[in-house]
Structure 1
Amino acid sequence: MLLNSITRLNVPGPEARAFIARDHRVISPSYGREHPFVMSHGKGCYVWDVDGNRYLDFVAGIAVNATGHCHPRVVQAIQEQAEQFIHISSDFYHQRWIELSERLSQIAPFAEPARVFLANSGTEAVEAAIKLASYHTGRSRFIGFIGGFHGRTLGALGFTASKTVQRAGFMPAPAVTHIPYPNPYRPVLQPMPGDRDYGETVVNYLEQVIFQNLVPPEEVAAVLVEPIQGEGGYIVPPDGFFPRLRELCDRHGILLIVDEVQSGMGRTGEWWAIQHWGVEPDIVCSAKGIASGVPLGAVIAREHIMTWPAGAHSNTYGGNPLACAAALATLDVLAEEGLENARLQGAYLLERLRKMADRHPHLGDVRGKGLMVGVELVVDRDSRRPAVALRNRVKKLAFEHGLLVIGCGVSSIRFCPPLIVSRQEVDEALQIFEHALTLAEEEQE
């Protein structure tokens, strides 16, 4: 509902504080917590903490709860499957695993028939994809992008280049060369003659600098890239980037792997964000929104690529029945309610935020597709200097007034609500967000 007045919550409450104290005694300190929010339950786009405070959730478990919290069709699918059986190892077969793989093959963003490997997370999907690429090509080198996030296990960490704390003290395994992601708001490369946009500049840099001076292209198995960078700041690349990258990969026999863990499953108004550029990848990594919160990851590859033999790659929980049932229900809901709504509400959210930027000079950039929208806070628009403290204060004030949002990039805030979010809920979130932004700006004066 729209708010006549925006009330500041007394958070965290006593129950939340007690649980947080217990958490600090037993949970690994490696987790980074955005807010002192201890969840009790959720419904649709709203969540409640253990003290009874209600929040509008524009995080959705980091784009995981695509159908909202406890969508009745997803809950029913999980319950019905749990009554039949909860687990059978990947040494055997079951119906839901086959049905889900068929559905994912049908929506694969390439014309060639697909094969599917099911995992438990986005990180596992990335690990499987890079193993598959190396196996298929017989090559050992890879290209990644600065600002990219692909997971924290050692293989995936070799590609992750979002924050130094995620890599410090570890020795990532794959031979990965990182190049700048084509961020049109913060370009770091000089355009070359003939470049039509900054996306082509980045690909030309890869070809004319990296491939000529550092990495032999004939040794590169794959390029791993997010169609829209998530953790790196919700960065949307220029239109020339992916067509030019696809052409370069084809010329050198390099596979194109797209990490759609955050941007896929209808988040941008298409099943896959890469479809906005009309480019067909070779391998897709999926997770997050695929099963409405039940852990599941998937690798979707062209049939001629996924030819590794039995035993080459497997897992105990692959094709978990509960996860497959949840994913099948999720796909139904997204097809019927989510994709079109993501387009409509996402366009509205972008328009409103861009108008809001006219009133708030610290909103330096508003970008996104569908319901994957980021706003970058800056000290001033001329210098574009990141306003990190302001961003953090806005997040905190939004939380204290009943809106869950989290950061990304250096000084950005991401909006990734459930794809079933209503216009009224978008308006409510914008009202709270602008109120928090105004308060934070006034504190700086």
Structure 2
Amino acid sequence: MKYPQIKTPLPGPRVKELIDVDREFVSPSYTRIYPLVAESARGLWIDDPDGNTFLDFTSGIAVCGTGHCHPRVVAAIQKQADTLLHMSGTDFYYTPQILLAQKLASLGPGSGAYKVYFGNSGAEAVEAAFKLARWHTRRELNLAFFGAFHGRTMGALSLTASKAIQKKHYNPLVPGITHIPYGYCYRCPYHLSYPDCETACVHWLEETLFRTTVPPEEVAAIFVEPIQGEGGYIVPPPEFHRELYKTAQKYGILYVVDEVQSGMGRTGKMFAIEHFEVTPEIIALAKGIASGLPLGAMVARADIMDWEAGSHASTFGGNPISCQAALTTIELLEEELMANATVRGEQLMVGLRELQQSLECIGDVRG
């Protein structure tokens, strides 16, 4: 049985050598908070070049929902690599992309028809959603949330409001975006208490923002994470998305959910928004979609994805190997891993609430 083993002082000698080379040649823009060099990984475990073994509590930063190097995913990658490595989907057709689009469309919430655009990352999926919302509505304004993280490319960064350093020296960003408070009951931005607040954070839009500042008929979309990730893993109250969605529908505003971190089975459902009984027009996906291979997807209602040929594309988006890895990943999620996420989630919530009773430093347990 494998278990964590620390055989050298940390960081070990080989890790130190590699980090020194990294510092000489790799961009310093990356935030490295721990001197870990991953040499190999399988399941829950990561081994470094000095023979130390670590337990990965990050799932590869929310990417490896099936575990590192799941044998079925690896086998699917190897088989596809022997068949077709690349054939740009911007100009031609190939089976793995077609089958993955069909599968993702079938997973779309509600009973409507969906279509899929493929990129390489979460930021690209959000950028595509950003452009599609403008194309379809012909509107120029958008709403997003304080604490949100949607990516670091210019459009996605403009929607982001997580850390000021992420925007430092990059202004002016894309105009026409207004950030509003998220439904964070533990530290309510309005200093109210749930449920007596009656979701004041949502009603503020109509009562104040739309009345004084932002014409709702000019808003293309609301970009929202079903559960805020980098903003603090904030689970909003059950009514939050439902009331927000009603407001969006009232004014013809598209509801765009960023499921890059919360989606692909992590909450026990394929998409976290399903817990809130809301059917968004557009969903952005990445991270856990392909068990570690680069892939992003924008899933949109078919009547919304009405842009014409040449409106948007990506040379490497929907790579055959990544698509095949995603198809196998979804099989594994549907077979057992989503159900396991529910069981493990309930187990963790019980344990953390017990700890909360004895530890004053734990203010809120949520999930």
Q: Which residue is 2:174 aligned to?
A: 173
Partners in 1 of 2:227 and 2:2 — Cα distance?
31
Cα pair 2:5 2:52 within 8 Å, conserved: no
Counterpart-to-counterpart distance in 1, 2:146 and 2:23: 32
Q: 1:370-411, CA deviations, whole angstroms, 9 ceiling, x for partnerless residues?
A: xxxxxxxxxxxxxxxxxxxxxxxxxxxxxxxxxxxxxxxxxx
Helix, strand or coil at the partner of 1:230? coil
Deviation at 1:196, TM superposition (A): 4.6
1:134-153 equivalence runs, <5 A: 134-153=134-153
Measure the CA separation in 1 of the matches of 2:175 and 2:305. 20
Secondary structure in 2 matching 1:357 = helix
Aligned to 2:109: 109
Structure 1 contact 197–240 (Cα < 8 Å) conserved: no
Give the letter aligned to residue 75 of structure 2: Q
User: Where do 5+ consecutive residues of structure 1 fail to align?
Assistant: 369-445
Alignment partners' CA distance in 1, 2:2 and 2:267: 25
How has the CA–CA distance of structure 1 residues 228 and 364 changed in structure 2, closer, same or farther, with 3 Å as cutoff?
A: same
Cα gap change, 1:322/1:26 in structure 2, threshold over 3 Å: closer, same or farther? same
For residues 198 and 266 of structure 1, do their structure 2 counterparts lie closer, same or farther at Cα, with a shift above 3 Å needed?
A: farther
In structure 2, what is the Cα distance between the partners aligned to 1:264 and 1:145? 18
TM-score (norm 1): 0.79
Give the structure 1 partner of residue 22 of structure 2.
23
Counterpart residue type for residue 186 of structure 1: R
1:94-243 aligned at under 5 Å gives the runs 94-171=94-171, 172-191=173-192, 196=195, 200-243=199-242
Which residue of structure 2 lines up, in the alignment, with residue 431 of structure 1?
A: none
TM-superposed CA distance for 1:318, in Å, is 2.0
**Whole-angstrom CA distance in 2 between matches of 1:198 and 1:226:** 21
- CA drift of 1:358 comes to 2.1
SS at match of 1:240: helix
CA separation of 1:349 and 1:88: change in aligned 2, threshold 3 A: same
Deviation larger for 51-60 or 119-128: 51-60
Deviation string, structure 1 residues 287-312 (Cα, Å, up to 9, x no partner):
00000000000000001000100000
Distance in 1 between residues matched to 2:314 and 2:196, nearest whole Å: 43
Q: Do the aligned residues in 2 keep the contact of 1:141 with 1:175 (CA within 8 Å)?
A: yes
Q: What is aligned with 1:37?
A: 36
Distance of 2:316 and 2:347 partners within structure 1: 40
CA distance in 1, matches of 2:286, 2:111: 21
Give the Cα–Cα distance (whole angstroms) in 2 for the partners of residues 39 and 199 of structure 1.
48
| Structure 2 CA distance for aligned equivalents of residues 243 and 291 of structure 1 | 30
Say whether residues 1:260 and 2:259 are aligned partners. Answer: yes
**What letter corresponds to residue 48 of structure 1 in structure 2?**
D
Superimposed CA distance per residue, residues 266-288 of structure 1 (whole angstroms, 9 cap, x where no aligned partner): 01000000000111111000000
Q: 1:199 to 1:79 in 2, by over 3 A?
A: farther
Shift in Å at residue 174 of structure 1? Answer: 4.0
What's the offset of the Cα at 1:115? 0.4
Alignment of 1:422-433 (within 5 A): none
The residue number in structure 2 matching 1:390 is none
Q: Are 2:69 and 1:53 aligned?
A: no
1:242-278 residue CA offsets vs partner (Å, 9 max, x unmatched): 1101110010000000000000000100000000011
Q: What letter is aligned with 2:190? A: L
Distance apart, 1:345 and its partner CA? 0.6
Indicate the percent of aligned positions where both proteins have the same amino acid. Answer: 49
Q: Retained in 1: the 8 A contact 2:8–2:50?
A: no
Partner of 2:353: 354
Check whether the contact 1:199–1:238 (CA below 8 A) recurs between aligned residues.
Answer: no
One-letter amino acid matched to 2:176: A
- Secondary structure in 2 aligned to 1:341? helix
Shift, 1:34, TM fit:
2.2
Greater share of strand residues, 1 or 2? 1
Task: Give the AA of the match of 2:136.
Answer: H
CA–CA separation in structure 1 for the residues paired with 2:6 and 2:13: 19
CA gap of 1:107–1:122, structure 2 versus 1, over 3 A, is same
Contact 1:268 1:342 in 2 (8 A): yes
SS in 2 for 1:117: strand
- Structure 1 316/191 Cα, relative in aligned 2: closer, same or farther at 3 Å? same
How far apart, in 2, do the equivalents of 1:197 and 1:288 lie? 37
SS at match of 2:257: strand
Offset, 1:357 = 2.0
Counterpart residue type for residue 181 of structure 1: Y
Q: Secondary structure at the match of 1:365?
A: coil
Q: Does 1:86 align with 2:69?
A: no
Contact 2:199-2:240 at 8 Å conserved across structures = yes
From the superposition, tell whether residues 83 and 97 of structure 1 become closer, same or farther in structure 2 (CA, over 3 Å).
same
1:110 CA drift (Å): 2.8
1:75 alignment partner, SS class: helix
CA distance in 2, matches of 1:14, 1:89: 43
Does structure 1 retain, via aligned residues, the 8 Å contact 2:6–2:53? no
Q: Which one-letter code corresponds to 2:301 in the other structure?
A: R
How many pairs were matched up?
Answer: 365
Conserved 8 A contact 1:285-1:297: yes
Q: Deviations over 1:122-165 (max 9, x none)?
A: 00000000100011001000000000000001000111101000
> Aligned with 1:37: secondary structure?
coil
For 1:33 and 1:199, locate their aligned partners in 2 and report how far apart those are by CA, in whole Å.
Answer: 41
Distance 1:2 1:312, change over 3 A: closer
Q: Which consecutive unaligned segments of at least 5 residues does structure 2 have?
A: none
Deviations 1:177-215 (A, max 9, x none): 0011111111111559xx855572111111111111110
**3-state SS of 1:301 partner:** strand
Distance 1:199 1:9 in 2: 55
Q: 1:38 to 1:199 in 2, by over 3 A?
A: farther
